[in-house]
Amino acid sequence: MFNAHFSPVSSILLNTWSRTIQPDAINLDSRASLISWGIAFLAAVTVGVYYTRTYQNKAEGVEESPLLENQILILGFYALLLGMAPSWAVGHQASSQGPFDNRYALPAMLGASLIVSGFVHSLRSPVYRTLILALLVGLAVGANFRSGNDYRWDWTYQQRFFWQLYWRAPTLKPNTFILSDTEIFKYESARIDLGPALNVLYPAQPTKTGPDYWAFTLEHLMDGLHITSDQLTNGAVVYQSLRTLNYTAPSHNGIAFSYLAGKPRCLWVIMPVDINYPYWSERASILPAISNPGQILSEPIDATYPDPTIFGPEPPYEWCYYFQKASLARQFGDWETVGQLGAEALSLGYMPSDPYEWMPFLEGYIHIKDWEMAERLSQQALVEDRNLQTAVCATWTRALETARLSEDEQSTVNLILAEIGCSSP
């Protein structure tokens, strides 16, 4: 019991400060990191100069009583315990390890600050007092700057995610959920934060009494709810209760996706054809089998969504916009649109950061029989990543299954397939 309560206290007093000097806080390649340390240095110098002058202006011969620091330390100790009492009463512990449980430490901050102040005041040397106080203030200012910058970027990644999701899925059928392998944001949980956000991103459906949409991770479904991959494939019920909200749906209503926050790669709505992507983790490899893009409708039902006051203004149309719209057109077999989007993106100089994102355009060019562009994209993808050989060949095979080719076209296709290392269908 003592250790359980002492651990969060030590976390507040010690671990919090250790996080200000962790190696990942010093990144010479990051402009924000350099700025944070510059601000920290200025704050430390300012505090140092101020207290140096304060001590110099003190009347000589004035003795400082140790009673004051003792009172500060005692008051801080009791304030710290009282601040922790509410979380202890409900069975929660403050921690500096997670993005959510550290909020329980907020009521104890006054006590922790008094304890640190009392410790600094107990030092008899004004020089040591000034140095330590300047150091602590500088570290705190730098850490708070980096924390604010982290939250800023996390929100930027969320905005990009929601707008790309809307481009790719203008409307979702009622009772749809989205599914990722693991959590995709640093400070948000899929089933607690993304789930409610989806019900704001899309207009509410009049036929549903509970939430229309939700979000899950495979990690939670398999490790938390103990649903196996076979059960997910066979339509197991997934569920989530959040305060007064209750959501349930069969697993066939899920749309799997992959999104790497902070990376230039676009959001991917996973389709069964993505089984040929070579880099799925062992757990994520089941996503193509359980993803149902049929839950996506091609047209929005309300042009006022998404609300820009919530999700920010619509981003400029760059590569990821064309990729999302081409993927949507691909899903509905609108190959002419895929070709037009590809031509427009290339004419504007946009290119993917991941060569796998050529696949929708490759399939579109094969369907409209633009053999030159199809060969060009095939070669481009394979030059950038030879491990995409299976995906490229499977795209050719799938697109040619329904194609009616003349003898000349068949000869052209055979030459291209030989050139890129694929067998003729």
Distance CA 329, CA 340 (A): 11
* Cis peptide upstream of residue 306 (ω within 30 degrees of 0): yes
| Amino acid in position 341 | L
- Which of 229, 267, 271 shows the shortest CA–CA distance to 394? 271
Could you give all domains of the chain from N- to C-terminal order, each with its CATH number?
A: 2-148 (no CATH), 169-314 (no CATH), 316-425 (1.25.40.10)
- pLDDT above 60: residue 316: yes
> Is the per-residue pLDDT at 369 higher than 60?
yes
pLDDT, tens digit, for every residue of 233-280?
999 999 988 888 889 999 999 999 999 998 999 999 999 999 999 999
pLDDT band per the 50, 70, 90 thresholds, residue 348: very high
Q: What is the pLDDT of residue 241?
A: 87
Contact criterion met (CB below 8 Å) for 391 and 383 = no
**What average pLDDT does range 308-314 have in this prediction?**
95
The model's pLDDT over 82-107, given as tens digits with 9 standing for 90+, comes to 888 888 887 777 765 555 667 778 88
Flag the least confident range among 142-146, 191-195, 228-232, 388-392: 191-195
What is d(CA 215, CA 178) in angstroms, rounded to the nearest whole number?
5
Q: Which of 245, 239, 149 is nearest to 197 (CA)?
A: 245
User: Which of 92-101, 186-195, 226-235 is the least confident region?
Assistant: 92-101
**Residue 303 clears pLDDT 50, i.e. is over it:** yes
Q: What is the pLDDT of residue 30?
A: 84
Cβ–Cβ under 8 Å, residues 93 and 103: no
What pLDDT is recorded for position 3?
A: 53
Partners of residue 76 on adjacent β-strands = none
Percent of the residues in the chain that have a pLDDT greater than 70, as a whole number: 92
* Minimum mean pLDDT range among 119-123, 228-232, 253-257: 119-123
What is the pLDDT, as a whole number, of residue 336?
97
Q: pLDDT-derived band of residue 112, with 50, 70 and 90 as boundaries?
A: confident
If you count them, how many residues does the chain have?
425
Residue 38 pLDDT greater than 70, yes or no: yes
How high is the mean pLDDT of the chain?
89
- Is the pLDDT reported for residue 55 higher than 80? no
Rounded-to-integer distance, Cα 5 and Cα 89, Å = 11
Q: What is the pLDDT of residue 22?
A: 77
